Structure 1
Amino acid sequence: MTKTPTQISKRIDDDSFEIVLPTFDLRSLISDLRRFTRFFVGVFIVTFALILVPIATKTPLYTATSQVMLDPRTMNTMPSQDVLSGLPSDTTTIDTEVQVLQSTALAERVVDSLHLELDPEFNPYLGGTKYFGLVKTKPISQEGLSPIAKQRLHEAIVDSVKSRVSVSRLALTRIINISYTAKSPQKATRIANEWARLYLSQQLEAKFEATKEANNWLNSRLGELKVQVEAAETALQQYKIANNLINATGDNTLGQQQITTLDQQLATVKVDQAEADARLAVAKRQLASGSAGDDVGEALNSPVVGDLRSKRAAVSQSLADLQSRYGPLHPEVVKAKRQMADIDEQIDAEIKRIISNLEAQAQIQRQRTASLQSSVGQARGQLIGNNQAMVKLNELQRNADAVSTLYQSYLDRFKQTSAQQGIDRTDARIVSNATLPGGPSSPNIPLGVAFAFLCATGLATALVFLRRAFDSGLTTGRDVETLLGQPYLAGVSDLGSTLDKSTKTTPVAYVVDKPLSVFSEGFRNLRASLIYSRLGEEVKVIAVTSSLPGEGKTTTSMCLARTMAMSGQSVVLLDCDLRRRSINRMIGKEVTAGLLEVLAGSATLDEVLVADDVTNVKFLPLAESTYTPRDVFGSPLMDDLLATLRSRFDVIILDTAPVLPVVDTRILCRKADVVAMLVRWRKTPRKAVQNSLGLLTDVGAQVSGVVLTQINVKEQSKYGYGDSGYYYKEYKKYYTQ
């Protein structure tokens, strides 16, 4: 088990347990690995060989590396810019150049330059075909190949050459490593250096082609512009002659200045007019809205209105004082009211005078605006008349100047690009040429061994855990407590695993002959667990059962009965398996009447009981009969029989049939004080045991716990961590055989 849960359980309502979460146990993990040691070693060896053998037998390859650097520096020998600009030194550009170095076009140039199509390492038609490095076929003739076949062969050679190159950037620098791998160190060095050289040559050719194309285009464009310049200058001169503008400068400065001055004055007057109209309009809106005029802007700024308002405020204050002192009809109060009315009339008259003044100012500004507009119109008419002939002339002049300037710029650029040819330089340079490698780069035997070891270990471990995951058997007492939630009563060894191969005996005889052996100790543990499984209550009837046949029920019952008898208890063993009748074969006596005859009343209990000559255990077997009454164990007669046996014996052991296939066992287990569920070590499926325990719980049987039977103590000591059998090597000498 890769994770062994530690079950901490407490009794709840006498029959339920609370199981806590599992914890990781390294020793349990190691135990699982030890358990499948052979399987692990087998998978490891096969995987290790399958990985390492191809690596070790691989043809040695050699890798040579050359280095180029993208150089952002430029040689400024010309005052102009290059036709094809230099490469920037940013990361994106460097990564792009790495891809260019791995391009098919560059690989094809290398193939053509070094004639690699004639190299058997790259041309399969020349090298033949090898089978496991032993048999080599004859070279295949290339004569008679179709053009398509030749093209495919050429592409295959280029792809083969390209697949051997490795281009990478050196950390965060501008240096690029070009590594090539071949079967020969000289060949790898030659191809790596040629790859770097052709990369620089490709850059030069790209710049040369760009300059050549630019010169051709500029030359053709200059011819077109020359014709346009001549036509523009001819049209300009003809227009001057036709309109008598030979000495014209093309402008009328005085007229323009006059218009400019008038426009500025007109703009100022319009602003003044707008301001006067706005003041008048605002004042009229305020009066129209019911205002007394005292909030008009000009009234607010008028010193007369301000003085009158001050007087009114003083009179208003005096009036309020008089009214509060003498009342509204007092002569002084009446006099103060008249003074206030006079002041209001004076304020109203002053405001009307202000409004009238605003109207006069607005009228004056409108007249000034009309006068200036008339003057501007006359000046413009004169200027238009004078410049009418200059409009066309200026247009022709501008056209001629523009065409001439464009022609001159193209002519200068053409001269510059023509002079630039021959001095183009690459944007990269070779930092170091490749040298002969000191040894093969592959196969890397140490790395291959490490890789094979890791893969073999990982796969073997994974398969061990996968196999363990599909192992549904129970191995240790901790498995019983954790996976089944049941107490672990004892572990019964497989007798053959505790003895030498030469020793011939039976478990039933050995438990008497060697009471201090490891095998016998398991039954003594089982006896103690069963007797004390119900504290405060006497345990007399013990049912021994299992989920499936072949789990050692009869052998366990016989050995347990003998062990109890040797401890001084009177024991009777009932054969309750109506289909097998296994006890008959073990007692070695002919049985003519047994349990069924006692229940049927055809024989008495004393007549059918068979005594063990060695331990005085009493057996109640089943006679060899084909007739089996229905519901024999659920009848009151069975209850009476058990009551009789309880009064005569200390312990009654019921050897029952398996729980899953036989329903009678569930009925019989309900009548027992305790039930011991036997589980064959590593064989019985866990699901079968869980189903059996569920069936017994449903009928109310008192399941005391689980017993692991037929345990191989030697195997258990290897991987049974968590169980007493794990320490078998330490304590086996303590017991006698």
Structure 2
Amino acid sequence: MSDCDAPEQINRNAMNVHTPSPDRTSPSPGSSTGAWTNALLGELDLRRLYMAFRRRLRLAAASALAVFVAVAVISMQATPKYTATANVMLDVRQERVTNAQEVLSGLPADSSVVDTEVEILRSRQLAQRVVEALNLDRDPEFNPRLRKPTGLAAVKGAIRGVFERGVPADARETPVELQKQRDRVVDAVLSRLSTSRVGLTYVINIGFESETPAKAAQIANKYAELYLLEQMEAKFEATQQASRWLNERLEKLRAQVIADEAAVQQYRIANNLLSASGATLTEQEISNYNQTLAQARAQVAEDEARLATARRQLAAGSTGEDVGEALTSPVIQGLRAQRVQVSGRVAEMSGRYGERHPEMLKARRELQDIDAQIQQEIGRIISNLEAKVQVSRQRLAAIAGSLGSARGALAANNRATVRLNELERTAEASRTLYESYLNRYKETSTQEGIEQSDARIVSRAKIPTRPSSPKIGLNLAIGLLLGLGSGLGAIVLAEMLDAGLTTAKDVERRLDANYLGSIPLLSSVAEDSRLPPVEYVLAKPLSSFSEAFRNLKTSIQYSRLGEPVRIVAITSALPGEGKTTTAMCLARASALQGVRVLVVDCDLHRRSMNRLMRTEPTRGLLEVLSGAATLEQAVVVDEQSGAHLLPLAPSALTPRDVFGTPAMDRLLTEFAVRYDFVVLDCAPVLPVADVRVLASKADAVVFLAKWRKTPQHAIEAAFRLLAKIGAHIGGVALTQVDMKAQTRYGYGDPGYYYAEYRKYYAD
């Protein structure tokens, strides 16, 4: 850069100068590093993304190529596998042999049911049945123990064999181990199985993948067969279980019915509630008594009427011959017949013999005797009527008494009938329940052996003729996509893991610090880089490398607006950041401009300036501080540039605090009087505590960070230490910047345009 461009650079640096806050402990948002992260977190900048991709192109290409080759090799070496597919359909139509209700109903035509059956096909129970049916546990394809181990498995087997040597085989084959082996076989079978529903239909595809085509078809068909068999067995088992349960329930219900009916009969007997023809004996007895009572009452009325009639006839003056019973009496009829005969003889003899004839008298006495007999017989008839009336009345009274007793018994029976009805209802309910269970048991028994599966095989699996995997073309396409993805991922990861600082924007945004400038890597800007940097500054004063130090000098002078900057402490967070080289080059470049410059070696541990200048002085900084030598005696003049150097003598290492003494303060004051620009070449901040004491005495601290190498967190830790002592951090300068690579990293940074203006310098 020419001298005419210096004011523009000075103004730009002056506008950007700011000091980080002492209490700042963390970077601003966007702490992810690299241009890629910056683009993701900030506004989208396609050019920045392109630059990030370009500088990581080799990494991306290597990652993509590695993934693609790995996929290709795996695909080429993979064992060909064949897939056979059988189709089953859930049949919503069912044959109805009987009209009896099924124990286990058929599957409803529901979408969720079809999806459930798809999952049932993947059940471990069905897989276990397939394994047992086809003896797949003896097939090396599914049983890893039967395969010959290779690679890592062989090493593990050998190690296991050493530990298990001498242990009996039956001791190793524990039940748990055997179960694990069976589970591994089942897992291997399930991993080869694929089940899917065909669209929204009731058809389910059962696919199986195997290394052998015939085996794939056999296992797929066996899956379909056992699936149908399992459905039938489920129904058969449900029917049998229902039959057993119904039979057991029937035995209990039968005993309950017998007990309830026995309770009814016992209650009837105990409460005299015996019945015939639907009515109790008491009710039948009362009915009979009612009929007999009515007859008895009629009989009494009849007898009383006859007696009353006879008595009225006799009271009316009748001789009783006209009484109804007398008229029908055979005795009276016989006596009347005799009287007629006797009366006829009397009439005959009255005319023949006269009234006084003995025969006449005899006949009259005989007639009187017959009349007397008739009257006696009539009297007996009247007496018989009276006796019959008494008997009828007594019979009526007896029947009425018996009826009353029967009615009392009926009332008691009616009261007992309430409990009887309850017992009868209980017995009837038990009988009804027993009959319903008996009918259901008979229906269930008839269903055994006629169960139907809810599905049927639509098409059996055919032996495949082409391998289903590996699909070389598809795998290569996937490998290409994965390679591209891994390449992009590698770029993103590399950018995120790039903890170093790259551009001025990184310094200002991530560290919240002033950017002082960039010190290029000599090999990246010089065609002939055989000279050391400190020599190159003198040999090529108009080169871009020398111009970088002049820019740094200008930025340092304006790092504190309104205040002069004479004493500058150059430090870094870690060793190897280029502090001594920067200090010497900065001093020589400034001296060539006519500035009175002094470089002080303040690194008591390294004495890097002596090695850089290839001198071993006998007097140095410590001797000046102790008074053993004057400043003029200790200062070494750089004859090539005119810069003054204050080195450290070989015995410079001391445990004393030399920088915090009043002698150091007086010496710094003397430096400020004698020189225009004083550069303190300090040790790193993090490992050496003396730097913090010396940094607080300088007008500004120039913090160096190695381009793309120094971690951001290390710089922040050093900033916190310097902030605690009140040191003024003038800014950060990036060192060892590869200007050729910066054209790929530093989009927006002045170094990004290095290719455009590099010919401007006389290298």
TM-score by length of 2: 0.61
Shift of 1:489: 0.7
In 1: Cα distance, 2:144 partner to 2:602 partner:
82
- Counting only pairs closer than 5 Å after superposition, residues 266-665 of structure 1 correspond to structure 2 as 384=411, 416=443, 424-437=451-464, 439-445=466-472, 448-449=475-476, 473-500=500-527, 503-577=529-603, 582-583=608-609, 611-615=637-641, 617-622=642-647, 624=649, 626=651, 649-659=675-685
Which residue, out of 663, 668, 680, partners 2:706?
680
In 2: Cα distance, 1:389 partner to 1:631 partner:
122
1:74 maps to a residue whose letter is Q
CA contact (8 A) 1:594 1:620 kept: no
Shift of 1:526: 0.5
CA contact (8 A) 1:71 1:428 kept: yes
The residue aligned with 1:200 is 228
Shift of 1:49: 5.8
Which residue, out of 167, 177, 196, partners 2:195?
167
Shift of 1:487: 0.8
In 1: Cα distance, 2:103 partner to 2:75 partner:
52
In 2: Cα distance, 1:121 partner to 1:249 partner:
85
Change (3 A) 1:538 1:429: same
The size of the alignment, in residue pairs, is 596
In 2: Cα distance, 1:105 partner to 1:680 partner:
66
In 2: Cα distance, 1:641 partner to 1:457 partner:
63
The residue aligned with 1:129 is 148
The residue aligned with 1:82 is 102
In 1: Cα distance, 2:725 partner to 2:406 partner:
126
Change (3 A) 1:488 1:425: same
CA contact (8 A) 1:68 1:432 kept: yes
Secondary structure in 1 matching 2:214: helix
Change (3 A) 1:378 1:577: same
1:496 maps to a residue whose letter is S
Change (3 A) 1:252 1:445: farther
2:93 maps to a residue whose letter is R
CA contact (8 A) 2:130 2:219 kept: yes
Secondary structure in 1 matching 2:547: helix
1:232-268 CA-to-partner distances (Å, cap 9, x unmatched) read: 79x98xx99x989544456989x9xxxxxxxxxxxxx
The residue aligned with 2:77 is 57
Secondary structure in 1 matching 2:194: strand
In 2: Cα distance, 1:392 partner to 1:734 partner:
127
2:226 maps to a residue whose letter is L
Change (3 A) 1:133 1:449: farther
Secondary structure in 2 matching 1:195: helix
In the alignment, is residue 67 of structure 1 matched against residue 87 of structure 2?
yes
CA contact (8 A) 2:601 2:648 kept: no
In 1: Cα distance, 2:144 partner to 2:454 partner:
37
In 1: Cα distance, 2:135 partner to 2:690 partner:
91
Which residue, out of 121, 139, 144, partners 1:101?
121
2:737 maps to a residue whose letter is I
Change (3 A) 1:380 1:188: farther
1:514 maps to a residue whose letter is K
CA contact (8 A) 1:511 1:520 kept: yes
Shift of 1:492: 0.8
Secondary structure in 1 matching 2:555: helix
The residue aligned with 2:214 is 186
Secondary structure in 1 matching 2:580: helix
CA contact (8 A) 1:542 1:672 kept: yes
The residue aligned with 2:353 is none
CA contact (8 A) 1:34 1:719 kept: no
Identity %: 45
Change (3 A) 1:607 1:129: closer
Stretch moving more, 198-207 or 398-407: 398-407
Change (3 A) 1:161 1:246: same
In 2: Cα distance, 1:561 partner to 1:169 partner:
82
In 2: Cα distance, 1:662 partner to 1:68 partner:
80
Stretch moving more, 92-101 or 515-524: 92-101
The residue aligned with 2:161 is none
Change (3 A) 1:438 1:452: same
In 2: Cα distance, 1:469 partner to 1:392 partner:
93
Shift of 1:209: 5.7
Change (3 A) 1:679 1:167: closer
CA contact (8 A) 2:60 2:486 kept: no
Change (3 A) 1:518 1:82: same
1:436-481 CA-to-partner distances (Å, cap 9, x unmatched) read: 5464333344565566667777777777777776765444333333
Secondary structure in 1 matching 2:735: strand
Stretch moving more, 149-158 or 481-490: 149-158
In 2: Cα distance, 1:678 partner to 1:405 partner:
103
The residue aligned with 1:310 is none
In 1: Cα distance, 2:612 partner to 2:417 partner:
141
TM-score by length of 1: 0.62
In 2: Cα distance, 1:620 partner to 1:518 partner:
25
1:557 maps to a residue whose letter is A
Secondary structure in 2 matching 1:708: strand
1:330-359 CA-to-partner distances (Å, cap 9, x unmatched) read: xxxxxxxxxxxxxxxxxxxxxxxxxxxxxx
CA contact (8 A) 1:252 1:387 kept: no
Change (3 A) 1:697 1:381: same
In 2: Cα distance, 1:597 partner to 1:390 partner:
136
Shift of 1:577: 5.0
Secondary structure in 2 matching 1:430: strand
CA contact (8 A) 2:568 2:678 kept: yes
Structure having greater relative contact order (Cα 8 Å, sep ≥ 6): 2
Secondary structure in 1 matching 2:461: coil
1:425 maps to a residue whose letter is Q
What are structure 2's unaligned runs of at least 5 residues? 1-14, 31-37, 155-168, 287-403
CA contact (8 A) 2:17 2:515 kept: no
In 2: Cα distance, 1:712 partner to 1:42 partner:
23
**RMSD across aligned positions (CA):** 5.7
2:519 maps to a residue whose letter is V
The residue aligned with 1:336 is none
Shift of 1:491: 1.0
Shift of 1:179: 1.9
Shift of 1:709: 1.9
In 1: Cα distance, 2:416 partner to 2:469 partner:
89
2:534 maps to a residue whose letter is V
CA contact (8 A) 1:222 1:411 kept: no
2:206 maps to a residue whose letter is I
Shift of 1:156: 7.2
- Counting only pairs closer than 5 Å after superposition, residues 131-150 of structure 1 correspond to structure 2 as 131=150
Secondary structure in 1 matching 2:217: helix
In 2: Cα distance, 1:176 partner to 1:541 partner:
86
Rg (Cα) greater in structure: 2
1:57-85 CA-to-partner distances (Å, cap 9, x unmatched) read: 23222222223233333344533323443
In 2: Cα distance, 1:598 partner to 1:244 partner:
143
CA contact (8 A) 2:507 2:514 kept: yes
1:67 maps to a residue whose letter is N
CA contact (8 A) 1:596 1:622 kept: no
CA contact (8 A) 1:609 1:618 kept: no
